[in-house]
Amino acid sequence: MIKKSFFERLTGSHKEEEETKLDVLSDKSFIKEVEEENEEGQLTVDVFQNPTEIIIQAIIAGVRPEDIDVSITRDMITIKGKREDSRRIERENFFFQELYWGSFSRSILLPQEIDPDEAEAIMKNGILTIKLPKIDKERVQKVKIKGE
């Protein structure tokens, strides 16, 4: 059994006997096919919790905070944006082109209801951190009754 390289496992491609890894990685037609298939990239995220909130973190380097759109409901969050490439390099001058440029998005179904009005988003050092306060369904709120 032939062991697949990390790149082969990642892309699902396979190396033919006469090809080398460099040939596979630098194949311009392969890069173009991948770009055409994925018009919008999927943002990678970490989603975790503490006792009071659900926290989402994503690396969004190279995007201004005002160019990121975060939409939140009680059970879902969607993060959208676009990373612009200001470089003007001809495709034939690349050896590797692995950075993602263009539109990206990610929708996440939340494991628990949250309060969207109390959500907080912070961008620091290219990392977007969104804190979503959980709704405590066990909490009992007392209401005072006012007389006329």
Q: How many domains does the chain have?
A: 2
- What confidence category does residue 129 fall into, taking pLDDT thresholds of 50, 70 and 90? very high
Q: Classify burial at 31, counting beta carbons within 10 Å of its beta carbon; exposed 0-12, middle 13-18, buried 19 or more.
A: middle
Asked, for residue 147, whether it belongs to a domain, the answer is no
Q: What is the CATH number of the domain that holds 91?
A: 2.60.40.790
DSSP string, 87-142: ----GGG-S---S--EEEEEEEE-SS-B-GGG-EEEEETTEEEEEEEBP-TT----
Question: Do 121 and 50 have their domain in common?
Answer: yes
What's the pTM? 0.65
| Shared-domain flag, residues 15 and 73 | no
Q: Which domain holds residue 107?
A: 40-133
Give residue for tokens 């959208």.
80
For residue 143, what pLDDT is reported?
83
Length of the chain counted residue by residue: 148
The CB-side HSE value for 95 (13 A sphere, CA atoms) comes to 2
15 and 31 housed in the same domain: yes
Is residue 148 in some structural domain? no
pLDDT, one tens digit per residue, over 13-36 is 655 544 444 444 444 444 444 444
pLDDT in tens, 39-87: 788 889 999 999 999 999 999 988 989 999 999 999 999 999 998 877 7
Do 128 and 57 belong to one domain? yes
Same domain (yes/no): 98, 54: yes
Q: Are 25 and 81 part of one and the same domain? A: no
Closest residue by Cα to residue 44 from 86, 81, 88: 81
